[in-house]
Chain A
Amino acid sequence: MPPVPTTDPELRHPRNKIELFRAFTWLALQGFGGVLAVAQRELVERLRWLNKEQFVELLSLSQVLPGPNIINLALMLGDRHFGWRGAAVAVGGLLAAPLVIVLALAALYAQFSSVPQVAGALRGMGAVAAGLVLSTAVKLAPTLRRSPMGLWPCVGMTLVSAAAIGWLRWPLAWVVLGLGGVGYAWAWYRLSPAKDSAP
Chain B
Amino acid sequence: MNAAFFGLHGLDWIDLLQLTGHFALLSLLAVGGAITSASDMQRYLVVERGWIDPLEFNASIAIAQAAPGPNILFVALLGWSVAGPLGMVATMLGIMGPSSVLTFVVGRLRHARQDALPVRAFSVGLAPLTIGLLIATGWVLTLPSLDHPMALLLVPATVVFMLKTARSPLWMIAVGAVVGALGGA
Contacts and interface: CB of A to CB of B under 8 A. Distances in A.
A125 B66 contact: yes
Contacts of B72: 68, 71, 95
Interface string A123-165: 1111111111111111111011001110001110111111111
Contact of B181 (A63, A94, A117): A117
Interface residues of A, number: 105
Interface string B36-65: 011110010001000000010011111111
Contacts of A125: 62-63, 65-66, 173, 176-177, 180
Contacts of A149: 124-125, 128
A132 B172 contact: yes
B86 interface: no
Interface residues of B, number: 109
Nearest to A103: B80
A121 B178 contact: yes
Contacts of A141: 131
A124 B169 contact: no
Given A61-B107, A165-B40, 11 more contacts: A64-B119, A95-B69, A98-B68, A103-B76, A106-B63, A124-B180, A134-B134, A149-B124, A172-B37, A175-B129, A191-B120
A18 interface: no
Contacts of B38: 133
A127 B70 contact: no
Interface string B98-136: 111011101110101111011111111111111111111
B99 A98 contact: no
Given A84-B104, A120-B183, A123-B151, A183 B128 contact: yes
Contact of A187 (B40, B121, B151, B182): B121
A140 B130 contact: yes
Interface of B: 25-31, 33-35, 37-40, 43, 47, 55, 58-73, 76-77, 80-81, 96, 98-100, 102-104, 106-108, 110, 112-115, 117-142, 144-145, 148, 150-152, 154-159, 161-163, 168-170, 172-173, 175-185
B129 A157 contact: yes
Interface stretch (A8-16, A28-36, A42-50): A28-36
A158 B133 CA distance: 8
Nearest to B177: A121
A33 B169 contact: yes
Given A67-B103, A106-B80, A125-B180, A28 B69 contact: yes
Could you say which of A33, A66, A120 has the most chain B C-beta atoms within 10 Å of its C-beta? A66
